[in-house]
Structures are given as structure tokens and as C-alpha cells.
């Protein structure tokens, strides 16, 4: 069973990774209170954190038309390939439909083949190429 909703996790633990996790979760708590976006958190029946998706509003710089934008999605490595990312994306799509956005956009690294495969299966298509140059 996977539970989704606003962020309500509590961090437990004693090492540096737990401190980092607490910092990240505090940031999510702030973001989850914004009216232009939502964070969906996936948990199992024991409330173990499985992953999250942050979706919000974007707009086209040329036309001003608003659209849904997936700012971030993450599934813990040991839970990847089990349908959690798909469930999170479905929830984001429902949220964007409720907001009456006609599109959802996201950015993905070309090296993340698993994510690109999932996004393709969910109906996303490449529209632009994002390029970068490393400056020393």
C-alpha cells in the first residue's frame, strides 16, 4: 500500500544522512504550504518514506500561458521499478487536470534512461533540447 498526501514525515535517526534528510524535509514542509504547487509523498503501510514528487505552476515566457511543471521527482533506489514513480506521476497529472492546465512539463537528464523510459510510457514526449557548457 502506498499513501500519498501533503508532507507529514518525521525524521528518525542519528547520523549525518539523517541530518541532511531533516534539512530536506524541512524545505519540503515550506514548499508544501505554497498555493501554486504540491508535494506528493509516497509511503508504505509502516510510513517508511519511498519517494516524492513536487509539482507546481509554470508559464510560457512568450505567451504567458500557464502549465503544470514537475520540479522534482525522487524514488528511493531500493523501491525503483515497483510502480511508485508511475503512481506519483499519475497523482501529479490529476492535480494538473484539477488546476485546468493543458500540459505538464518536466526536465530530465539524458543519462537517466530509466526515467526517460517511464516518462515516455506515461505519455511525455521530448519537445526541446537543453544544452549546457562547463565553464572552468
For 49-61, what is the mean pLDDT? 91
Q: Is 82's pLDDT higher than 50?
A: yes
Using CB atoms within 10 Å of the CB of residue 121, give its burial: 0 to 12 exposed, 13 to 18 middle, 19+ buried: exposed
For 116-120, what is the mean pLDDT? 96
Q: Is 3's pLDDT higher than 50?
A: no
* Nearest alpha carbon to residue 85 among 10, 2, 22, 25: 2
pLDDT for the residue 30: 66
pLDDT for the residue 4: 47
Backbone φ/ψ region at 75: left (φ over 0), alpha (ψ -120 to 50), beta: beta
- Mean pLDDT score of the chain: 83
The residue ranking higher by pLDDT, 79 or 29, is 79
Per-residue DSSP letter, 15: S
Q: Cβ neighbours of residue 70 under 8 Å, at least 6 residues apart?
A: 53, 54, 55, 89, 92, 104, 105, 106
pLDDT for the residue 34: 62
Q: Is 28's pLDDT higher than 70?
A: no
pLDDT for the residue 88: 97
> Which residues, listed in sequence order, are joined to residue 25 by a DSSP beta bridge?
none
For 63-92, what is the mean pLDDT? 94
For 84-94, what is the mean pLDDT? 97
Could you give all domains of the chain from N- to C-terminal order, each with its CATH number? 16-121 (3.40.630.30)
Helix (H) or strand (E) holding 85: helix 84-98
Amino acid at each position: 500500500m502506498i499513501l500519498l498526501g501533503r508532507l507529514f514525515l518525521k525524521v528518525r535517526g542519528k547520523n549525518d544522512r539523517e541530518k541532511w534528510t531533516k534539512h530536506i524535509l524541512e524545505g519540503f514542509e515550506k514548499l508544501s504550504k505554497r498555493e501554486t504547487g504540491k508535494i506528493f509523498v509516497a509511503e508504505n503501510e509502516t510510513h517508511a518514506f519511498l519517494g516524492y514528487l513536487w509539482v507546481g505552476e509554470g508559464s510560457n515566457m512568450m505567451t504567458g500561458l500557464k502549465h503544470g511543471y514537475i520540479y522534482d521527482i525522487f524514488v528511493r533506489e531500493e523501491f525503483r521499478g515497483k510502480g511508485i514513480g508511475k503512481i506519483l506521476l499519475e497523482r501529479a497529472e490529476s492535480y494538473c487536470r484539477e488546476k485546468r492546465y493543458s500540459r505538464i512539463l518536466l526536465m530530465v537528464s539524458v543519462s537517466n534512461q530509466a526515467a526517460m523510459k517511464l516518462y515516455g510510457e506515461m505519455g511525455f514526449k521530448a519537445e526541446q533540447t537543453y544544452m549546457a557548457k562547463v565553464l572552468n
